[in-house]
Structure 1
Amino acid sequence: MYCTYVTLYFIIVDHNFLKRDYYFSFFRNRDSGQPSIIIITSALQPVNYSVEVSEVGYYTSGNVTSDNEVIINLPTTLITSSHNDQDKGIHLMISSDRVTVIGQNLRSGTSDTFLCLPITNLCVDEYVYYGISVPFSIRGSYNSSILVVGTEDNTMMKLTVTQPVTISVSNSTVDLTAGIQYSFVINRLQTVLIESVDDLTGTKIVTNKLVSVLSGHQCGYVPVMSNSCDHLVEQVPPTTLWDRVYYTAPLATRRSYTIKVLAAYNSTVVDIYCNNTRESYNISEGESVNKTLSLQEYCAINSSKEVLVVQFSHGYAHQDIGDPMMTLVPATNQYSNKFQFSTLQGQSGYTHYINIIVLAQYYQPDMIYLISGGVNRSLDTQQWVPIMVNGVTEAYSVQVNVSEGVAEIAHVNACATVMSAIAYGFAFPVGYGHPVGIFSYPG
């Protein structure tokens, strides 16, 4: 325990002197939407932030403390809604790395959230990203969407789309053929919007410098025959941050859900164990497998090579309340011992939840605490469910109600990467979801 306290002390000191840069943007909701960000911090001192969108002359700054989150409603003109909107990138600079940033695109009946990922140089020659969207055929006039945001000038981008599309880059309109690689140069805060009425999952983006990639759907139906669509969006990481082991759990109040597993490499063998029963798939680079599951199915995903996993709730035609939502699922190499997070904020009628997954070797419910709504409680009285592979329990999961706003979960073991969680919620007729922390960036 001595090493625990010494290590934690130095981490806290270092965090207060580090800073983070975020680059992101928003693509169009079903119609218009209200873009906003939530900034929260666990830093001991006030944390300064600034937001700039140079193309439209927008700038704001201030500070956030551990006692009060900051919600910034951004101008609706910052939403990239057509191919002619090419410079809507948003830069958020924060003076500490003990922060969590949540993006929101809010509209009556269609809203979603995403975890903003900070820009971190991974010291590789190129970065590879893949778009991901709804797992079924798309109905109606709304588009599967991918939005690329440049973080540095003179970034070389190679783009291979899965559907024929028309895009605009540097004031030029280009028709792209599916399966053919095209090369472009983009600059800092420049945005490139890729849209199709068909699923763009597997669209490949290769860059020589870091970019930010937002992926999802303006208003997607999950499954295709559900009665209502919802906005779906997540910020996807480069493949260097993908991994091979994931765990998923059912969503509160849902009768079923879908997971989607996307491969970065050829000959990727994916084994999905649900309630200790295995199904195996062999998929290639950019391909994905979809699996629809019942409310009783807790799953482990093991793959021979790195994959990305997302989880979808289903629309209200198949459920009791709420529309679809999409969330990234954290891999086990992205677990932590503590997360500070926020639910969606700014709309009424939601019931909010978190799904927590803890690795079996750290399954100590009396050592896991949740702070929500001003109440600090141990989770030892909750109903935890084992997730098994070949008869061996590898993890445990629990669903917990949380209050709207900022919350925190923590495991007393401060030396281990022990758990993950997703935050989500439903109202009528809308849903949202996002990981509370991921990719070695806990709040």
Structure 2
Amino acid sequence: MAEPTLTRNNRLYGHLRGPHCLDTFLCIFAGSRGRAFIVLFTRNIAPSIKSIYVTSENGTQINIATSPNLDSGIKNQTDKSLVIPSNKRFLIPTDMELLSFKKEVKSIWIETSEDAFIISRDEFKNGYSVGSTTHIPLRKLSTSYVVITTDPEYGSKSQIAVAAIEDNTTISITFRMKKNHFLDINGEFFYNGEVFKLPLSRFETYLIEHDADLTGTVIESDLPIATFSGNDCNTLNKKGGCDHLKEQIPPVSSVDRAYIVPPNSPDIDTCIRITAIEPTNFTFNIDGFERLMTLDGLDSYDLDIASNESCTIESTRPILVTSFSLHSKTSELGDPSMVIVPGVNQYLDYYKIVVPSGYDYNYVSIMIKESSKNSLQINESGILPNVIFDQNVLVGNTKYSVRSINVTEGELTASSVDGERFGLMFAGVKDFNSYGFSGNSLLV
């Protein structure tokens, strides 16, 4: 099968034109929907099932391609070209998992004829850990990123993974280590604040792992790249088991300044990490308790909310906000999951997404202006199923409705009749397992 055809000549890195974007308005405002993506699977601590879920509005031609230099046996299992009617799950060979500190050709390129939404999942074969992420269209990728990980428990690792889109790409990684432990990269030692330079070619990937929290590490490149970060496996509140954490990180050019963080699910608390791109003042508000904070550039602040609370965050400068689900304090439900929270300027007015199967409970959280909440439709119905959380919050002078609902597995559409944009976050739990992902994490 031929390599993906998108190149800089047809404006891959701006808003697509020509046959890849017949409707300019949709291409500019589609958020995480797009027609070309890169998927990576970072190293997991145990054998895992790797899946890619593709959802389109009315069906699409899909091409899945890997490097011509990839082992032919793995390539033949991965590469595909077919028409899907609405959504499809693709199983990916375990050998596509990245190895640390090694240049490999393990990026998976996906190209569709119509706009699509893509998530990937990496789940232990025993079902007790899963990492998932929403993928970012290639047209939204850029050259500057800030990493989010968590402090690894003994024996586990934080992770950074990058993939080049073009040949002769130079990547510079400026490390920020919560513990000033040196990082050994093939015999060369790096300390906090030091820079690792990495040349990569098209299809090439590289995975870095460390026993320290790497949040605030800066990744810059001379050409657009895809960046992922998280942990091979971690527990965050010393309860339950460890879970694989991974997110495709949005470029700093797509980061917002105002956020609403919903609770994760009943009886499960949420840890929120606020990471400054540059020095900033911000306020957070939890049930009327408001606090003003200051962060230096690349610093982070963590706070927790209970399952009956939501949190608003407003900053003078762009910030990254990450939500981490925790294990239940009173049952065996849940375990850590990691989600980049959508900012209020990253909301869309339409989503079509597959809710994964195999979970005891699946939840969707909706953040919409209170004046438009009655225009919201789930699966073309204005009657929301099983509302388990309902609260109004203020962002600036605007009142928002924050609701969480219980939904069943399978295809889900969400839209607003009046065209108002809204945020969407997904979560699911079962014993010692949870997943989470957002409907969009990019400025529109």
Q: TM-score, normalised by structure 2?
A: 0.85
Question: Contact (CA 8 Å) 2:60, 2:112: kept in 1 or not?
Answer: no
What pairs up with 1:212-291 in 2 under 5 angstroms?
Answer: 212-223=226-237, 225-265=238-278, 267-291=279-303
Q: Deviations over 1:213-243 (max 9, x none)?
A: 11111111112x2242111111111100001
Query: Using the alignment, how far apart are the partners of 2:435 and 2:34 within structure 1?
Result: 29
Q: Which residue of 2 aligns with 1:411?
A: 416
Q: Which residue of 1 aligns with 2:312?
A: 300
Query: Using the alignment, how far apart are the partners of 1:167 and 1:24 within structure 2?
Result: 24
Q: Which residue of 2 aligns with 1:309?
A: 321
Question: Contact (CA 8 Å) 1:41, 1:47: kept in 2 or not?
Answer: no
- Deviation at 1:82? 2.9
Question: Contact (CA 8 Å) 1:22, 1:92: kept in 2 or not?
Answer: yes
Return the match for 1:427 from 405, 427, 430.
Answer: 430
Query: Using the alignment, how far apart are the partners of 1:325 and 1:209 within structure 2?
Result: 31
Query: Using the alignment, how far apart are the partners of 1:413 and 1:11 within structure 2?
Result: 21
- Deviation at 1:430? 0.5
Q: Deviations over 1:69-110 (max 9, x none)?
A: 1111011000013323522111111122x2111101011211
- Deviation at 1:394? 2.5
Query: Using the alignment, how far apart are the partners of 1:200 and 1:259 within structure 2?
Result: 16
Question: Contact (CA 8 Å) 1:423, 1:433: kept in 2 or not?
Answer: yes
- Deviation at 1:389? 5.5
Specify the SS of the correspondent of 2:139.
coil
- Deviation at 1:377? 4.6
Question: 1:101 aligned to 2:111?
Answer: no
- Deviation at 1:317? 5.0
Specify the SS of the correspondent of 1:80.
coil
Question: Contact (CA 8 Å) 1:340, 1:407: kept in 2 or not?
Answer: yes
Please tell me the residue identity of whatever aligns with 1:131.
V
Query: Using the alignment, how far apart are the partners of 1:85 and 1:209 within structure 2?
Result: 18
Question: 1:119 aligned to 2:119?
Answer: no
Query: Using the alignment, how far apart are the partners of 1:219 and 1:36 within structure 2?
Result: 18
Return the match for 1:64 from 65, 81, 84.
Answer: 84
Question: Contact (CA 8 Å) 2:359, 2:428: kept in 1 or not?
Answer: no
Q: Which residue of 2 aligns with 1:379?
A: 384
Unmatched runs of 5 consecutive residues or more in structure 2:
1-21, 28-32
Q: Which residue of 1 aligns with 2:3?
A: none
- Deviation at 1:156? 1.7
Q: Which residue of 2 aligns with 1:368?
A: 376
Query: Using the alignment, how far apart are the partners of 1:131 and 1:160 within structure 2?
Result: 10
What pairs up with 1:17-416 in 2 under 5 angstroms?
Answer: 20-43=35-58, 46-54=60-68, 55-57=70-72, 58=75, 59-66=79-86, 69-84=87-102, 86-96=104-114, 98-107=115-124, 108-120=127-139, 127-134=143-150, 137-163=151-177, 164-167=182-185, 174-223=188-237, 225-265=238-278, 267-317=279-329, 320-345=332-357, 348-361=358-371, 363-365=372-374, 367-371=375-379, 376-379=381-384, 382=387, 384-388=390-394, 394-414=399-419, 416=420
Q: Deviations over 1:294-321 (max 9, x none)?
A: 2232211101101111111112456551
Specify the SS of the correspondent of 1:240.
helix
Specify the SS of the correspondent of 2:138.
coil
Query: Using the alignment, how far apart are the partners of 1:377 and 1:29 within structure 2?
Result: 41
Query: Using the alignment, how far apart are the partners of 2:257 and 2:287 within structure 1?
Result: 19
Q: TM-score, normalised by structure 1?
A: 0.85
Specify the SS of the correspondent of 2:363.
strand
Query: Using the alignment, how far apart are the partners of 1:192 and 1:166 within structure 2?
Result: 15
Query: Using the alignment, how far apart are the partners of 2:167 and 2:24 within structure 1?
Result: 33
- Deviation at 1:381? 8.5
Give the CA RMSD over aligned residues.
2.4
Please tell me the residue identity of whatever aligns with 2:118.
V
Identity of aligned residues (%): 22
Q: Aligned in 2, Cα 1:85/1:185: closer, same or farther, shift over 3 Å? A: closer
- Deviation at 1:440? 5.2
Question: Contact (CA 8 Å) 1:342, 1:436: kept in 2 or not?
Answer: no
Please tell me the residue identity of whatever aligns with 1:311.
S
Q: Which residue of 2 aligns with 1:5?
A: none
Specify the SS of the correspondent of 1:296.
coil
Query: Using the alignment, how far apart are the partners of 1:78 and 1:380 within structure 2?
Result: 39
Count of equivalent residues: 405
Q: Which residue of 2 aligns with 1:3?
A: none
Query: Using the alignment, how far apart are the partners of 1:369 and 1:105 within structure 2?
Result: 30
Question: Contact (CA 8 Å) 2:262, 2:311: kept in 1 or not?
Answer: yes
Query: Using the alignment, how far apart are the partners of 2:409 and 2:324 within structure 1?
Result: 21
Question: 1:436 aligned to 2:434?
Answer: no
Q: Aligned in 2, Cα 1:65/1:176: closer, same or farther, shift over 3 Å? A: same
